[in-house]
Structure 1
């Protein structure tokens, strides 16, 4: 009987792990229906802050309602991914570095179905180890590549 219960427990744990989002390389620390000022407001965008001053500028540019997060910029950097969503809010499905560390993939999924085609600005804020991010050459956000060779 104990073996049967243990087997059921393992199956339950592994099924929950399989259903969870992949956030192996960073942490989502904030998301909000807001976007950057200027012409990229309706387009996908990736922005990175390596310092408190850069984060201060981006936080203002994206017009976030929340206070800026307290980040240890000796160890971490901030990555902001901007997109559009409809009446079904987007959630992060995957935030994952490739094995060689040169590609970062960020994928979203809508939360719900039967969504209206209304366009809302949406921005996701991640923290990631600075040493890992400095190696990244390309971020793929919702399938679109963003070249980071300027690092």
Structure 2
């Protein structure tokens, strides 16, 4: 029985780690700073604290572990909320983030939406750029 439990825990932990390797969605909130599509790549806790306060996230600021990064992606949505459709890391080391909107009968009212992704150290050091809603952003 103990072997089965250890095996299941190993599978669960492996699944969690692979999510961070691919850019785990940490947070999505209807907040923003300037109403424009943009990306912040943060590897320093002090900078993350400052951005977290400026954006006014409801959730507490996370802790950056050594070498990890948080990618903060800003966008605008209409009355139909956006969500993350999928994220992938391509062979040429581009972190590709694709959104989708929920609903079809939407009013164009311009609401800020910010997504926060957590990336592990090994994956982050390999990345060259981010493609956010079909727009490229260089990160190094």
Please state if 1:126 is matched with 2:117: yes
For 1:117 and 1:46, locate their aligned partners in 2 and report how far apart those are by CA, in whole Å: 22
* Residues 44 and 82, structure 1, Cα contact 8 Å, conserved in 2: yes
TM-score by length of 1: 0.74
Counterpart pick for 1:52 among 40, 45, 58: 45
* Residues 20 and 119, structure 2, Cα contact 8 Å, conserved in 1: no
Q: Which runs of 4+ in 1 moved over 6 A?
A: none
**Structure 2 residue runs without a partner (length 5+):** 1-18
Matching of residues 29-44 of structure 1 within 5 Å: 29-36=26-33, 41-44=34-37
After superposition, the C-alpha distances for 1:81-129 in whole angstroms (9 at most, x for unaligned) are 000001111000121111232x110010001110111100000011011
How many positions carry a matched residue from both structures? 122
For 1:106 and 1:134, locate their aligned partners in 2 and report how far apart those are by CA, in whole Å: 18
| TM-fit CA distance, 1:24 | 6.7
Determine the structure 2 residue equivalent to 1:145. Answer: 136
For 2:25 and 2:56, locate their aligned partners in 1 and report how far apart those are by CA, in whole Å: 18
For 2:97 and 2:46, locate their aligned partners in 1 and report how far apart those are by CA, in whole Å: 25
TM-score by length of 2: 0.79
Please identify the structure whose Cα radius of gyration is greater: 1
**Structure 1 residue runs without a partner (length 5+):** 1-21
Q: How well do the aligned residues superpose, as a CA RMSD in angstroms?
A: 1.8
